Structure 1
């Protein structure tokens, strides 16, 4: 039985779209809601745990519910009950979570339960079915809806998942705003680590007039056993696998440590011969790219996985699916496991009880420890979960040194002390110590009380000014009733007053002599974009900056890309790699010129990653924000990643290899996806040129061929197509492939052009070894390229690689054959003769197999001697 059939049997016979009105006029009562939901649970051969049953009863009775039960105790099922209750009463419910990935996952889960027509999703860069009776969104989205609409907001059920993010210093305000501004709502607050919730119980009841039910239980459906390990991590993992405690998730606090640990585990024999064959069969159709893909391919065949945010989404999904089959015995990852990540595991092994939090290294808080530890134990598979914490490496090594000495000297403590003196390892610099005592304290500790992280900003006040009614009264209420201590509230009020005066002076708001028809005493003189401050807050600036560019300029398309890139968040790992590369090349050049070390280092300190148009953009930004002061909250960040990739004529894999970004592929791909969406959403039709459209098409196809999950999902949603659940099996994931790269003729043509010009650039730099790596398997090794270089430079002193040199007119294509293209790329020589170049064949079938042009060079040299395409 489907859940909607539990609500009303007629849903078994038809798709009843947007049925809110039916139940608003004739809502189901408490007993009908409870019975309908529990009947659905029974139809799935499930039974509610006592805590779940108590929470569902509270929801059905109309109470607010605070649900603080351990991970794996079925909080998601209670959330479904809340949405069901909302539908049964003709109400609109919102599901909020801290990260888009979790919002997206719940969106597809709810689509499967309630039907895609009844579930919507709104994120900062896209929305689908936004008027549906169930809406999935991040906490910031709901907070901004509430700021704009207050008690008038069409929000009557609020499910806040991972509610401990209330204490997050940067984002906690968004979790607090609904608790202050929605008296009409029924709340379900959920987390495994809430701590003392007395304040929330009291204030939710005062706000909504509803009883607030606190449901908690220390009883886990899958109990946990805790151990402190004083043996090397390799040995601990091997023992866990041998004793049937796999899958094991090995928690690290950096991606680098997780990757290094995974590679070191390759020496262990974790899989039987039959299991290795099962893995091989399972991934036979999966496309692993070069670089990290090849490494992961080898790892999973050994039963080892990696899971962290720097990976491509398709690789993370593969690891998750292989883990669900039991074919991965060990997964090395980061502590992001604690935020709803779908990796089913039996054992959590935590490698440290301290972490660097961005500012300092500190011990784990009780909340952090229990969030990660709570992931152990698989419902339906395990009778218990295991949590192992490793002692510090130097303590383990020192204990071994002492043990050996004790064995040698038969326990003579004096001799042992003499033998080990000076041999013990010291902790690394900056190390924050932990011990078995620390471990015992964390196991017993309850999560710390949640602390308020409320703040005020330009965007918050601007949203408040859009709300009907007196904005000053609304602001006063928000600033005096939030959960901050009184001195902090006074600071926020002073800050808000300063922001208001700034907006008034800039002419962004104006006072009204008489209240308008909605009761406002001030009004905005500008129209805010939809989802203001969420969908690239600097997009309006980008739109204005585009008007400063000359569309007739040959470099216009790339300059337009630079404008858009300056409004995107910084991908730190990529920019660091670009800066390191630029400094290394500059130092080598200065050394070749004879500059001494001090001069080289002083000059290198001034080198950063590429920032095209920085001066122009920063001047324009200063001018723009004089009339839009709120954008001072956001940083303009000139940078060149999409542009750099295009100018270097590189594909995704080339770029990753060039900058050594194998551990950050996922971060690079997300940035490219953000850039693609921003180009699609921000650049108006009037600012598009054919070259810019080509570039956007190239970028979209490059992303799609690298990993089509991000971009295809977004494009499907923005096109308004019916949303369907994502892949939920390993077979579907392996079978899922990007469209043939040759189907997108426009984008593939750009890829071919870039591939050919990449060879021109390497030729100009006389890098015959790299050219040989590109084309050696097709007969053009480094020696053959060197001969071609000698022939050309005997004739000409230089070869140009500027924008004019890469113009499409210098590339001739014959696309008449359905299986191969014939291409000829002319060199831009100092005499403008264009009589030397490269002729090649593009293998279309092989290109589809690898998702990128497969080029086979036929001739390099005088074009009169080459066959004409």
Structure 2
């Protein structure tokens, strides 16, 4: 019923034939008129037993008439349905449509929704980390993807309908440029801008009309289909949740402003009877085949079985999607998370419980803005299920505790104010340090407040300049267009022009662009250097510095590849939780060593203060940055961040799960995965071909495969849909929950060989540190090499040699032998890792076999140790 076929049935039987080319969205030779598309869409709505709200109907009609639409209606009023209409109107006219949103989770959700409606073959997704069916007539992407298309192609871009969801992100200080760029140079577009909290839109209406020549219409409604009831709770959080669940006001989304608090709340609710017996049985049935990895996966599994979900950006995508699906099936009565769900993700919620009215925004702790409050509160109330939604705000914890103290004192002294005051003196709890006060009055003010005006946040970066330089037109005219047409005040525009000149000179001096002796056929007088890879990009503010710094390295050095990784890592944003874990580990190990040496306590503390996470090449890079920024002063506004995450994982020969366990990062898996993805993208797009070596290419391939094997749930689910399998509701489809298996790890032979080398060298490092217990855990069950057997091998080795090395020479390919000829032993590789002994005899080796079939099942090399001995 959700397929595009149901729309086409209202047009003609031939178009409803799945074998007909029109079913696949090829309306180019036989487009529908706007009236025909409008009537067809209304027929599809009727077939689903739905009826459009007046605002929805008005917006769809305006889109069918070819107008731009700004849809400013409350959350829950069906803006997504209007977006579907925009896609269909475009498809029926033989045009291409783009849906954009601020976060990948929302993009992926809409992608799957549209696959179900229009068919997987007609829908693609591009997020920067992955690309699925990118040539489809309907594309879901993050706002930055569309903005980069605008910079590169402008009016030459193959698109018409542009649906920009959560358009209030236009004001986001870091990302607002991406929401503004399409409004500056897509004259061929028909825009649909959507948000529940837009404020004054006159400027956007005027400028869209001037740009596109289309009439621009504001469609708004003050009436929420599901009205909201507001309350302020002075009861402890657990008691508030218990009352909401017991009085049938669930599902409840508990909003926190830190991931740790969300998980702590979930733990505190485990004593409550959240899920019924039937729900628990159904949850167990649906998740029986789902692979919960060690660490956070097991923690989440425990909460889910009690009807409690967790949802935040620090989780792996497969876990977030699982929580969303179980919630959509009505099996999770409580979800503890951050304000992620305030950005339109389709999780059915009856009650939103907000734990604070202040948040840390990356720079300071401040009260929530009106727009933020209403975006979060607006998630309450499920259309088709609820007659009302509920928004509850918790009073600050210290106020709740003080209320209890006052109530006890009042009861004890029978309301005698003087005695009460004396008994409470010194007992009342003070607010925590740094607390930004809010109260019931603050809550009431936010409920009544209008959204703040949207303000421009346009900026210019190296990556944006590179995209504009790729356009088949005079790049200086293109750059000037964006510098003069943006919505910034004149003072800021002048500053942007100065910055553009500095970036251009820097790219020219760095050899990234070159002047042409005469204009080419497109009128260009400069172009990108031809030796750069096709996907070359400078996506980080300090990427140009990284590009220049690579020339400081000696390509013949055995450390070159890892030093190149360190240069790239120094330009990436800090994964704070990961670095904290690394620093804690470094201090813990150093403290143990100092205690063993008998160091005095004060000396130990002084030394510990000096210890931090690893920062490879810090001195070299900081000196180079001082020199570099002298010629590019605006670079000084950015901070160089030497760190070792990718390098550390590689040097320790660890996989994703090993690294998480080693540093205790179970609550930050998603943050680590996102950082690895950023590093992989930067390595692929910033390191020029001339700087690549075989070893560096191996590391890049290895990193990409680690990411794919960790979580490829979105790709797998799309492939299932594309193969024609039914998209069944979660409660009827176990497969939809289990769609998380990555491509076969052995299919990427180059990356898999690196993984195998790392797996063997991991054992060398543990052998060198005499960690027989860990080795026994690795190989005892599978190979029969328990801790005692490894210990015996160590004794024999150290009888022959004083020490074993684990430096770059020790992990050289020269000391690793791999026989991948499976003709003699099908499905098995033979490997031999020679140990680099202190006598340089190289007479000891670890010999093993790699089970290829089992490796594909586990997503990492399955090693069976055969022998550890001298040749």
What whole-Å deviation, never above 9, does each CA across 1:322-352 have from its counterpart, x for those lacking one? 2122222211111111123232222211111
Counterpart CA distance in 2 for 1:473 and 1:786 is 71
Q: CA deviation at 1:390?
A: 0.6
What is the distance in 1 between the residues matched to 2:770 and 2:286? Answer: 44
Among candidates 799, 803, 819, match of residue 798 of structure 1: 803
Aligned length: 855
| Residue 218 of structure 2 is aligned to residue 205 of structure 1 | no
- Counterpart of 1:345 in structure 2 is 349
Matched, 1:373 2:380: no
Are residue 766 (structure 1) and residue 773 (structure 2) matched? no
Among 729, 734, 741, the alignment partner of 1:731 is: 734
Could you say what secondary structure the match of 1:285 adopts? coil
The structure-2 alpha-carbon separation of the partners of 1:848 and 1:204, relative to structure 1 and needing over 3 Å to count, comes to closer
Alpha-carbon deviations, 1:658-707, whole Å to 9, x = none?
A: 11111111122233344455666677889877766665565455444432
Residue 189 of structure 1 deviates from its aligned partner by: 0.7
Partner Cα separation in structure 1 for residue 181 and residue 705 of structure 2: 40
Work out whether 1:660 is the aligned partner of 2:664: yes
Counterpart-to-counterpart distance in 1, 2:727 and 2:567: 34
Shift of residue 773 of structure 1?
Answer: 4.8
Distance 1:526 1:561, change over 3 A: closer
More moved, 260-269 vs 123-132 = 123-132
Worse-matched range after superposition: 199-208 or 597-606: 597-606
What's the CA shift for 1:755? 3.9
Instruction: Select which of 171, 175, 181 maps to 1:171.
Output: 175
Q: Is the 8 A contact 2:502 2:632 kept in 1?
A: no
1:420-440 per-position Cα deviation (integer Å, ceiling 9, x unaligned): 222111110111111111111
Q: Offset of 1:825 from its aligned partner?
A: 5.6
> Contact between 2:511 and 2:529, CA under 8 Å: does it hold in 1?
no
| 1:211-222 mapped onto 2 (5 Å cutoff) | 211-222=215-226
Asked if structure 2 preserves the Cα contact closer than 8 Å seen for 1:458 and 1:633, the reply is no
Q: Post-superposition shift, 1:378? A: 2.2
Instruction: State the match for 1:19 in structure 2.
Output: 26
Equivalent position of 1:143 in the other structure: 147
Q: Aligned ranges for residues 580-619 of structure 1 at < 5 Å?
A: 580-589=584-593, 607-612=611-616
Q: 1:856 to 1:161 in 2, by over 3 A?
A: same
Q: What does residue 417 of structure 1 align with?
A: 421
Displacement of 1:237: 0.8
For residue 66 of structure 1, give the secondary structure of its aligned residue in structure 2.
strand
Partner-residue secondary structure (3-state), 1:389: strand
SS of residue matched to 1:51: helix
For residues 69-468 of structure 1, what are the structure 2 equivalents within 5 Å? 69-124=73-128, 127=131, 130=134, 132-460=136-464, 463-464=467-468
Could you tell me how far apart the structure 2 residues matched to 1:526 and 1:506 are? 10
CA drift at 1:147:
3.6
Q: Where do 1:519-558 residues align within 5 Å?
A: 523-524=526-527, 526=529, 533=537, 555=559, 558=562
For 1:770 and 1:606, the matched residues in 2 are separated by 30
User: How far apart are the structure 1 equivalents of 2:533 and 2:14?
Assistant: 40
Gap change, CA 1:733 and 1:616, over 3 Å in 2: farther
Give the superposition deviation at 1:632.
8.7
CA-CA distance at 1:252 after TM superposition: 0.6
Deviation of the 1:200 alpha carbon: 2.2
Q: Is the 8 A contact 1:503 1:629 kept in 2?
A: no
Instruction: Note if 1:830 corresponds to 2:838.
Output: yes
- Compute the displacement of 1:250 (Å): 1.0
Partner Cα separation in structure 1 for residue 775 and residue 518 of structure 2? 74
The separation in 1 between residues aligned to 2:193 and 2:690, in whole angstroms, is 47
Cα distance in 1 for partners of 2:701, 2:461 equals 37
TM-score scaled by structure 1? 0.85
- Cα distance in 2 for partners of 1:645, 1:33 equals 54
Deviation track 1:786-815 (CA, whole Å, cap 9, x = no partner) reads 566555445543222234444567677898
2:53 match: 49
1:34 and 1:57 in contact (8 A); partners too: yes
Change (3 A) 1:168 1:802: same
Instruction: Give the Cα separation in 1 of the matches to 2:322 and 2:143.
Output: 28
Distance 2:556 2:64 in 1: 64
Residue 308 of structure 1: how far off its partner (Å): 0.9
CA distance in 1, matches of 2:724, 2:636: 37
Give the distance between the partners of 2:368 and 2:67, measured in 1 at CA.
35
Contact 1:124/1:531 (8 A) holds in 2: no
Q: CA deviation at 1:321?
A: 1.6
Contact 2:28 2:93 in 1 (8 A): no
Distance 1:210 1:805, change over 3 A: closer
Q: Structure 1 CA distance, aligned partners of 2:695 and 2:480?
A: 52
Question: In 1, Cα distance between the equivalents of 2:11 and 2:638?
Answer: 46
Look up the match of 1:867. Answer: none
Q: 1:240 to 1:740 in 2, by over 3 A?
A: same
Q: Which moved more, 1:388-397 or 1:549-558?
A: 549-558
Aligned 8 A contact 1:112 1:724 in 2: no
Q: Secondary structure at the match of 2:15?
A: helix
Q: Deviations over 1:21-58 (max 9, x none)?
A: 425xxx54442232122122222222211111011111
Query: CA-to-partner distance for each residue in 1:226-251, whole Å, 9 max, x for gaps?
Result: 21111110111111111122221111
1:491-526 CA distance string (max 9 Å, x none): 444544555666678787899999876566x54464
Quickly say closer, same or farther: Cα 1:519–1:535, change in 2 above 3 A: same
Task: Show the counterpart of 2:35.
Answer: 31
Distance 1:627 1:45, change over 3 A: farther
Alpha-carbon distance between aligned partners in 2 of 1:487 and 1:833, rounded to the nearest angstrom: 70
Describe the superposition over 1:630-677 as per-residue Cα deviations: whole angstroms up to 9, x where unpaired. Answer: 999987755432332232122222211111111111122233344455
The CA RMSD over aligned residues, in Å, is: 4.3
Deviation at 1:309? 1.1
Measured against aligned partners, the alpha-carbon deviations of 1:242-275 in whole angstroms (never above 9, x if no partner) come to 1122221111101111111112222222223333
Partner of 2:675: 671
The answer to whether the 8 Å contact 1:258/1:334 transfers is: yes
CA distance in 2 between partners of 1:744 and 1:501 (Å): 40
Q: TM-score, normalised by structure 2?
A: 0.85
What is the alpha-carbon distance in structure 1 between the residues aligned to residue 594 and residue 865 of structure 2?
Answer: 35
Change (3 A) 1:127 1:765: closer
SS at match of 1:378: coil
Deviation at 1:747, TM superposition (A): 5.8
Gaps of 5+ in 2: none
Decide whether aligned partners of structure 1 residues 429 and 64 sit closer, same or farther in structure 2, where only a CA change above 3 A counts: same
Change (3 A) 1:534 1:134: farther
